[in-house]
Amino acid sequence: MYISTRGHAEKITASQAIVAGIAPDGGLYVPESFPKYSELDISNLCDLDYKGRAKYILSELLDDFTDDEIASCVNNAYGNGKFPEAVAPIAPVSENLWSLELWHGPTCAFKDMALQILPHLMTTAMKKNGTDKKVLILVATSGDTGKAALEGFKDVEGTKIITFFPEEGVSKVQKLQMTTQEGKNVNVFGVYGNFDDVQTAVKKIFVDKKIIDEIAEKGYTFSSANSINWGRLVPQIVYYFSAYCDLVNSGFIGIGDEIEFCVPTGNFGNILAGYYARKMGLPVKRFICASNANNVLTDFITTGKYSKCRDFYTTISPSMDILISSNLERLLFDLSDNNAEETAALMEELNKRGSYSISEGLKEKLQSLFAAGSLNDEKTMQEIKARYTDDNYLCDTHTAVALGVYRQVGDKDTTTVIVSTADPYKFNYPVLKAIGAPINDSMNEFMLVDELARFTKTKIPAQISSLKTKEVRFNEKIAKYGIANKVRESI
Ligand SMILES: *Cc1c(COP(=O)(O)O)cnc(C)c1O
């Protein structure tokens, strides 16, 4: 069963948690307990392909779904030619260092790993619970979630999706990907403000009784595709196991060997999924939490004090431009042995004062498992260049943050997997600048993409080249106070 991190919501099933998104007490749903895998279980996982691994792990964590339901969700998401056969391949970078490439899906970013399957999990969950309501998905996005959610939910029966993105906080490709979105059930708005403004406004709507009643009358119920939804997190646990199995299968590690993961982090969803994988028995010594100039998590992990009262920077890794990492709440809950009272009190502090400090006991646990570091834009550019020239590995800005932080705090003697979160083509401008390609400000998005292909002799992903011929369907920009109204209007 699933419980809320704030302790004032009823226990519910996995499918109910996926339909609900956020808990009614403002907390996040987590499983009461986790399955634990032995070395033999992991070795069995290694014999399966990605879809097989996903079916095995999801079946255990979403235990009110039947095996057939899970199989159908997994096949719809990772089959049908939407991903390459390996789904999430690992690529060698240098000695003891690997890159887990999570960006070979339809939108070229790691969010596809979860958002291609979430709509299927959600519609299956709705049916299981006998709901005749349609789902209204609201997304606050720093770029990649928006497109990946739109692509995942587009034309899915019984769903409607509205995406809000910070007008100045996403890359040109990201904006174009969203504003050209196809589908009958989609809507997209640019918002004046930063990602936290947008996320805060959307989170409020989810618990606003008046709006909830209003949309219920029209036959809708809210749900969230943000990484606060358990259905987003659970598919992400799979690729940590899968990367480990791939390393075992290629003979670089033996079953039981401990490895490390270095994760470029924003909302703390990706790295938290890794933490849960470890809790389920994956041999991981440590996680490295990598941040850009918005290094609120670096400070938190090194000092035990979380403070969002700081300057907000717009960086070249915009998907990590976040000051409130929502999923941290789940980590605090888990580190405190499911202490809802303590977790709720910390979140209350954050809400009221904009900061909180954790107890010495919690801090010790946190630091025994997580290392942290951050990279500003200049260092990130240097890292892109260094990996490209020294290792012949071309990476995007988010992945570069992780690679740079690994070089600061990583253990070179331990096999380490960098979790690579976006295709370099998606953030082409800073990548081109970093590697010294001849570009200028008069070049449009598509000229930049062509130049990246020419300069690096790599192939343009079809998902990006096809944007060229798509028409812009959504061009409306609104104030953050206008978000609730747009939600009302849309139904
Ligand atoms: C969303 C995103 C991140 C951050 O992931 P979280 O789960 O929010 O920590 C990092 N890189 C890219 C490219 C992303 O889209």
Question: What is the average per-residue pLDDT within 404-414?
Answer: 97
Please give the tally of structural domains in the chain.
1
Cβ 321 vs Cβ 315: under 8 Å: yes
Pocket test for ligand 1, best of 104, 267, 297 (most atoms within 8 A of CB): 267
Q: How far is the CA of 422 from the centre of ligand 1 (A)?
A: 9
Q: How far is the CA of 484 from the centre of ligand 1 (A)?
A: 25
> Is 365 inside any structural domain?
yes
Other CB atoms within a 10 A radius of the CB of residue 51 amount to 18
Which of helix, strand or coil describes residue 121? helix
Strands (E), 193-320: 220-224, 259-264, 284-291, 305-307
> Is 192 inside any structural domain?
no
Give the number of the atom of ligand 1 that is nearest the alpha carbon of residue 265.
Answer: 9
φ, ψ of residue 219 in degrees (nearest 5): 90, 15
**Lowest mean per-residue pLDDT among 11-15, 258-262, 324-328:** 324-328
> Is 147 inside any structural domain?
no
Q: Who lines ligand 1 at CB under 6 A?
A: 109-111, 144, 227, 264-270, 319-320, 398, 421-422
Q: Both tokens of residue 463? A: 């998902």
pLDDT at residue 145, as a whole number: 86
Confidence of residue 215 (pLDDT cuts 50, 70, 90): very high
pLDDT at residue 224, as a whole number: 79
Residue identifier of the C-alpha nearest atom 15 of ligand 1:
144
Domain with 380 in it: what CATH number? Answer: 3.40.50.1100
> Is 217 inside any structural domain?
no
Q: How far is the CA of 114 from the centre of ligand 1 (A)?
A: 12
Pocket test for ligand 1, best of 298, 319, 323 (most atoms within 8 A of CB): 319
Look at strands 186-192 and 220-224 and give their pairing. Answer: unpaired
Other CB atoms within a 10 A radius of the CB of residue 438 amount to 9
DSSP-assigned states of every residue in 264-286: E-SSSHHHHHHHHHHHTT--EEE
Q: Is 304 left (phi over 0), alpha (psi -120 to 50) or beta?
A: left
Range of the domain at 258: 1-108+230-478
> Is 142 inside any structural domain?
no
Cβ 202 vs Cβ 229: under 8 Å: no
> Is 224 inside any structural domain?
no
Scanning 336-438, the segments in alpha helix (DSSP H) are 340-353, 360-369, 377-391, 397-409, 428-434
pLDDT tens, position by position, 89-140: 999 999 999 999 999 999 999 999 999 999 999 999 998 988 888 999 999 9
pLDDT at residue 156, as a whole number: 86
Scanning 280-327, the segments in alpha helix (DSSP H) are 296-303
Give the number of the atom of ligand 1 that is nearest the alpha carbon of residue 270.
Answer: 7
Q: How far is the CA of 164 from the centre of ligand 1 (A)?
A: 17
DSSP run (H or E) holding 76: helix 67-78
Alpha-carbon span 246 to 352, nearest angstrom:
45
φ, ψ of residue 191 in degrees (nearest 5): -120, 135
